Amino acid sequence: MSETSMPKEEGLDHSLAFLREGYEFILHRRKSFQSNIFETTLLGKKAICIGGRKGAELFYDPDKFIRAGAAPNRLVKTLFGEGAVQTLDGERHRNRKGMFMSIMTRTQLQKLDQLIQREWEKASKQWEQADQINLYEESQYILMRAACAWAGVPLDDEQKRTEQMRHLFESPAALGPDYWQGRTSRSGADQWIADLVQQVRNGELHPVREGALYVFSWHRDSDGELLPEKVAAVEVLNIIRPIVAISIFIAFSALALHQFPQEKGRLQKGDGSIHRFVQEVRRFYPFFPAAIAKVKEDFHWEGYRFQEGMLTLLDIYGNNHDPHLWEQPDLFQPDRFLDWDESPFDFIPQGGGDFHMGHRCAGEWVTIQVMEVSVDFLVNRLQYKVPNQDLSYSHTSMPTMPKSQMILTDIQKVI
Ligand code: HEM
Ligand code: MYR
C-alpha cells in the first residue's frame, strides 16, 4: 500500500491556538488544508485531528483506538473522575458501559420524564412571584433534584451539591481559580457519593432499586468484583453531573426560541416538531468540542500512517457544521432532520458510533428527552419576556453558553 504524508501544521505547539480558536480550531484547519485529516502538535505531543463521516467511523473502531491515557489529566480530574468509563477499553469498558445502558430502559426514562415535569411545575410557580430569573441557574436546580431522585441519591444540601456539579463541567478548560474550584468540587462530590455507596453496601441506606446509586453499588466488573467505592461514586456522578449540564442546552434552546421566533410558532406536542427543534439545537450550538483517543497499534488508513500511541481528536463540533455533511450548516433549520438518515457518524454532538461497543454518550436519549420536556414547557406552558441582555456566546470558552445565561421576566404559567 502506498503511503501519503498527512497534511501537517508546522510549528512547535498549537495548544494556544486551540484555546484562541476554540470550537473552530479543527474545522478551520480542515478547511484550509482541504483535508479531513491533518497532524498538529498539542500539549507538546503529536496529534492527529480527524473529521468527516469517514473520520468519525474510523475513530469509533474499537480495534484502532483506545482511551487509556488519552484524555488530558485536567479533564480526568474534573469532568470524568478517576477510573471512569470514559477512560476504559476492551472488556472492562464493555462491562462498565453495560452497567450504564442497563438503567436506560423505557420505564426508567419515563420516570425521569415525570420527575423533570414535576420539577418544572414546582419551579415555575415560584417564578411567577419573581421579577426575573436566570434560566441557566434555575434549570440546574430542576435538573439536579430530578437527577438525584432518579438516581436514588438523597440530596443533602441542594445549593452546595448543584454548584459542585456545575463546577465539574465548567472547569475542565478553565484557568487558575476556576479550574481549582473544579478540582475541589470533584473531591467533595466523590466523597459525598462514596459515603452513600458505603451506606448502601452496609444496609444503612435503601435507595430505589432501579436507580444508579443502587445498581452501581452492586454492579460487578469484568473480574466479578464490586467497584471500589470511589469508582462507583464517579460513575453515579457520571449520571448526575451530565443531567445538570443539560442546563446549557436548555439555555441554548431558550436562545433559539428567541432568535428564531418563526420556529416557536410551529412547535406542538406529538408531531415531531419539538424533536426536530431539539436535534437542531444539539447540532447548531457548540457544546463538546472534540473527543480524544490514542492509536492502539500502528495501522494505515486511506494511505495515511497512524502510529501507536498518537493522540487523535475527533472534530465533534466541526462535523455538526461540516458543509459536506449539512446544507448551509450555519443556518438554524430544524426541518433538515425530516430526512436525516440517522447515520451514527455525521450528527455527533454527544459522540458517534455504537452505544454499547464504543464510547458514544450513554445519556443521549436522556438528553433528548429532557430537552423535549423542557422545550415543551417553555413553549406551551409558560409565557415570559426576554429583556435586553447580552445573548452573544463565545466560540472559544468551553463549554460556552449565552453570556447573560438567559434572563427571563414577567413569567406566567399558562395552565
Ligand atoms: C460520553 C456529550 C449528557 C453520560 C459523552 C461523550 C460526549 C458526551 C461528547 C464522549 C463521546 C466519546 O468520547 O466518544 C454529552 C453532552 C451532554 C451529555 C454534550 C449534554 C448535557 C449526558 C447525560 C448522561 C451522560 C445526560 C447521563 C445520564 C455519559 C457517559 C459517557 C458520556 C456515561 C461515557 C461513555 C463511554 O465512555 O462509553 N457524552 N453528554 N451524558 N456521556 Fe454524555
Ligand atoms: C458532561 O459529561 O457532564 C456533559 C458535557 C460537559 C461538557 C464540558 C466540555 C468541556 C470542554 C472539554 C474540552 C475537551 C477537549 C478534548
Give residue 270's pLDDT band: very low, low, confident or very high (50, 70, 90).
confident
Look up residue 362 and give its amino acid. A
CA distance 226 to 229: 8
CA 256 – ligand 1 centroid, Å: 23
Answer yes or no: is pLDDT of 267 > 70. yes
35-45 residue pLDDT tens = 999 999 998 88
Residue 381 class from Cβ within 10 Å (0-12 exposed, 13-18 middle, 19+ buried)?
Answer: middle
* pLDDT value, residue 7: 95
CA 379 – ligand 2 centroid, Å: 28
- What mean pLDDT comes out for the span 95-100? 98
Give residue 294's pLDDT band: very low, low, confident or very high (50, 70, 90).
very high
18 CB within 6 A, ligand 2: no
CA distance 199 to 61: 39
CA distance 85 to 170: 20
Task: Please calculate the CA angle 56-61-63 and round it to the nearest 5 degrees.
Answer: 155
Which 3 state secondary structure label does DSSP give 306?
strand
CA distance 28 to 264: 32
CA 367 – ligand 1 centroid, Å: 9
Answer yes or no: is pLDDT of 71 > 80. yes
CA 80 – ligand 1 centroid, Å: 10
CA distance 116 to 190: 24
Q: Which domains does the chain have, with CATH numbers?
A: 15-413 (1.10.630.10)
* pLDDT value, residue 376: 96
Answer yes or no: is pLDDT of 2 > 90. no
CB 239 within 8 A of CB 212: yes
224-254 residue pLDDT tens = 999 999 999 999 999 999 999 999 999 999 9
- What mean pLDDT comes out for the span 276-297? 98
Atom of ligand 1 lying closest to residue 292 CA: 13
Among the bound ligands, name the one nearest to the CA of residue 75: 2
- Torsional class of 376: left (φ above 0), alpha (ψ -120 to 50), beta (otherwise): alpha
113-166 residue pLDDT tens = 999 999 999 999 999 999 999 999 999 999 999 999 999 999 999 999 999 999
Mean pLDDT of the chain: 96
* Rounded (to 5) percent helix, strand, coil in the chain: 50, 10, 35
- Bridge partners (DSSP) of residue 385 are 409
Q: Over pLDDT 70: what percentage of the chain? A: 100
Q: What is the residue with the minimal CA distance to atom 2 of ligand 2?
A: 242
User: ipTM, 2 decimals?
Assistant: 0.99
Answer yes or no: is pLDDT of 281 > 60. yes
Close Cβ partners of 214 (under 8 Å, ≥ 6 residues apart): 152, 200, 207, 208
Nearest alpha carbon to residue 399 among 296, 176, 245, 233: 245
CA end-to-end span of the chain: 67
13-39 residue pLDDT tens = 998 888 889 999 999 999 999 999 999
Residues having CB closer than 6 A to ligand 1 are: 85-86, 97, 100, 238-239, 242-243, 245-246, 249, 287-288, 291, 316, 349-351, 359-363, 366-367
Please state, in angstroms and as integers, the Cα–Cα distance from residue 239 to each residue in 103, 153, 163, 199, following that order: 10, 11, 16, 19
Answer yes or no: is pLDDT of 184 > 80. yes
Answer yes or no: is pLDDT of 395 > 90. yes
CA 375 – ligand 1 centroid, Å: 21
* pLDDT value, residue 342: 93
Task: Please calculate the CA angle 290-292-294 and round it to the nearest 5 degrees.
Answer: 155
User: Which set of grid coordinates corresponds to residue 126?
Assistant: 415560584
Q: What is the residue with the minimal CA distance to atom 37 of ligand 1?
A: 86
Give residue 55's pLDDT band: very low, low, confident or very high (50, 70, 90).
very high
* pLDDT value, residue 1: 53
Nearest alpha carbon to residue 377 among 333, 335, 413, 332: 413
Answer yes or no: is pLDDT of 359 > 90. yes
Give residue 5's pLDDT band: very low, low, confident or very high (50, 70, 90).
confident
Q: What is the residue with the minimal CA distance to atom 1 of ligand 2?
A: 242
In total, the chain counts a number of residues equal to 415
CB 160 within 8 A of CB 189: no
* pLDDT value, residue 43: 84
CB 83 within 8 A of CB 348: no
Among the bound ligands, name the one nearest to the CA of residue 320: 1
CB 68 within 8 A of CB 88: yes
The backbone torsions φ and ψ at residue 45, rounded to the nearest 5 degrees and listed phi first, read -125, 150
> What sign for the dihedral angle of Cα 30, 350, 244, 153?
negative
Nearest alpha carbon to residue 23 among 383, 404, 410, 399: 399
